[in-house]
Structure 1
């Protein structure tokens, strides 16, 4: 259908193509090269940190963060439950045990009281999630971490350009991680970043992300023939210089992309604010929301599946929100987190990206209104 309103859509064009052409001409296409180093320096200004490392995706950045923070087999990490399971998976990859904490019913990030209740003598850290980009409660989480002698990590997968009490996402914990997947606010199709103010963590992550040695770029121009040696097993978590070149353009676009998403969110709020049976997402006044997604909470009387089918039939793409991680079989079950479980059943994401026109926002809102007020879509 040619007039479908896409759920998500990247904003890319001639500038990105030119940047890729320049990398092709340079002869350095592989990972951890000059374009990656330039992107990393530029990204520190977005994240507000001393160090940034470009990675193959957010999952690899999460894994690196947990590794350099010292997670070992059997260690417990308290994880905000309402998130794509890459967050919990990264704890498993490190040999740790994810212990999920229930979330706030308004902004859907980890409830600080639930986080503190989940801490045991085996807990080593807290992994908070900025759900759909809005930062979690980092002042409260930092106080809990300090009280219990734990580290704090920020899953900022959706959060490029967000702020919390005047501080940028990426600088709100000991380590933060970002995603540049195709549905994120800035994208190279795939990719990620690791950020921190700690030089020791940054250096260790850089070593691990290239199999356990310094990247080849650091040996360029040497007067002799340096032969690195391997003293620990690392990974191939590098971002290609092709993707880094795209990301450099995306960083220049970021202010305009954020402004466009915020206009779309404001349009939805105006057009859907009085709609019965639907609760709109909350943007707290002490933080800047980047609106990676726009997620509606449907009344329990609505059949979400029927609503989704009806929206798609009328050319409005939609999807569920994200996952109640504790319900996923890979984690073994056993926890009961009612807020997250309820959100998992009732959330519906509608189109949100920087290319949305005012007419499309109006069309989406009108279609949502028609569908949810139709008695045929009740349970």
Structure 2
């Protein structure tokens, strides 16, 4: 049987192992230590922000961001609908209600017109999603936020290395959040980060992410015995220094990894242009797409389940795209968002990671052609 072409795959090796060894040698393995501090400085530079805060996952970063922005019970937050439910969940964790807005049919991020139509007197903010890494329409969204006195937040879970009109992902809203899950462009297996240019939000987030006190590193080297005082309910959202060491090695790889994914996306687009029954994803010229996933849209008359079964039977991993959040029963959302609902049924993710060879891409496309004609 032919080898499996994996849907996603991390790029890790000797550099990451050495980074782990360096952390072990330092003696500080727990969260929010010196290696985390170094990673945070470098990630802030990468994202063009004044502050970055490493977290144990993106869900934690989302919750922290919403908490410091003040989302709470009785509030509504408008959320781009086409996303993994961590986005909507985080709004609920903060006590607020996610109000889902429909998406653009081409790049699948939230439609600014749908955002404006969803605003009510209870709306406090907008949570946009950079779907599969390509940034949303932040100029238009910021104009809406300013007009209505709302804050703007960027779910940049897939967006490390992306940019919008020359500005890096992470700097496009009041707060942004990233994921370093194993399927993302850079990864420590798990992990996340919050970025912001607002020092008030950064300071509050740093306090909340360590149970409501300053991290132990801030007391390191004191000659007296400082005893923290707890005056606000916080969380344990720290990233371990072991994971932060891996992330430092991954940051060194980021430019090369994004370039590899862009090369693969270009190869796919060239090979798939004449394949009947599908449409290839759109990358807009005013933004850098890091291609966390490569998701094709099947025509209405194509049986997605049949295509997926054929691919898997022939060693090509695949999956659906992501979720139309508004149809998930947990939210009890009563509206219908036709664009998101339609794409939820027709999207198919095919292999995308920086380790794919040209021959493997050729094989994926050939197998997909066969699946569509069988």
For Structure 1 versus Structure 2, the TM-score category normalised by the shorter chain is over 0.9
**Corresponding residue SS for 2:295:** strand
Structure 1 runs of 4+ with >6 Å offset = none
SS in 2 for 1:170: coil
Q: Structure 1: how far apart are the matches of 2:241 and 2:303?
A: 46
Within 5 A, what are the aligned runs for 1:138-157? Answer: 138-157=138-157
CA–CA distance in 2 between the matches of 1:224 and 1:120? 53
2:58 and 2:192 in contact (8 A); partners too:
yes
Instruction: Quote the Cα distance in structure 2 between the aligned partners of 1:47 and 1:30.
Output: 25
Q: Is the 8 A contact 2:2 2:314 kept in 1?
A: no
User: TM-score, length-normalised on structure 1?
Assistant: 0.98
Instruction: Give SS of 1:127's match.
Output: strand
| 2:181 maps to 1:181 | yes
CA distance in 1, matches of 2:200, 2:225: 26
2:35 corresponding residue in structure 1: 35
2:314 maps to 1:319: no
1:239 alignment counterpart: 239
Distance 2:140 2:298 in 1: 29
Task: For 1:1-379, list aligned pairs within 5 A.
Answer: 3-374=3-374
- Paired with 1:367 and 1:263, the residues of 2 have a C-alpha distance of 20
C-alpha displacement at 1:2, in angstroms?
A: 6.2
Distance, in Å, in 2 between the alignment partners of 1:2 and 1:313 is 10
> The residue matched to 2:318 in structure 1 has which SS?
coil
Tell whether the 8 Å contact from 2:82 to 2:322 is kept in structure 1 after alignment: yes
| TM-score where L is the length of structure 2 | 0.99
Counterpart CA distance in 1 for 2:278 and 2:373 is 10
The one-character-per-residue Cα deviations of 1:128-185 (angstroms, maximum 9, x if unpaired) are 0000000000000000000000000000000000000000000000000000000000
Give the whole-Å Cα distance in 2 for the aligned partners of 1:223 and 1:182: 41
CA shift for structure 1 position 333: 2.8
Q: For residues 148 and 261 of structure 1, do their structure 2 counterparts lie closer, same or farther at Cα, with a shift above 3 Å needed?
A: same
Cα distance in 2 between the residues matched to 1:333 and 1:48? 36
Equivalenced residues, count: 374
Q: Is the 2:102–2:114 contact (alpha carbons within 8 Å) kept by the matching residues of 1? A: yes
Secondary structure of the 1:318 match is coil
Shift of 1:259: 0.6
- CA shift at 1:276, angstroms? 1.2
Distance 1:46 1:283 in 2: 21
| Runs of 5+ unmatched residues, structure 1 | 375-379
Whether the 8 Å CA contact 2:81–2:101 is kept in 1: the answer is yes
After superposing the two structures, state which structure 1 stretch, 19-28 or 346-355, moved more: 19-28
TM-fit CA distance, 1:373: 2.3
Query: Residues 54-112 of structure 1: CA distance to partner in whole angstroms, max 9, x if unpaired?
Result: 00000000000000000110100000000000000000000000000000000000000
Question: How far apart, CA to CA, are the structure 2 residues paired with 1:2 and 1:49?
Answer: 46
1:201-246 CA deviation, whole Å, 9 max, x = no partner?
Answer: 0000000000000000000011210000100110000000000000
3-state SS in 2 of match to 1:158: coil
Q: Which residue of 2 aligns with 1:377?
A: none
CA RMSD between the two structures: 0.7
Q: Which runs of 5+ in 2 are unaligned?
A: none
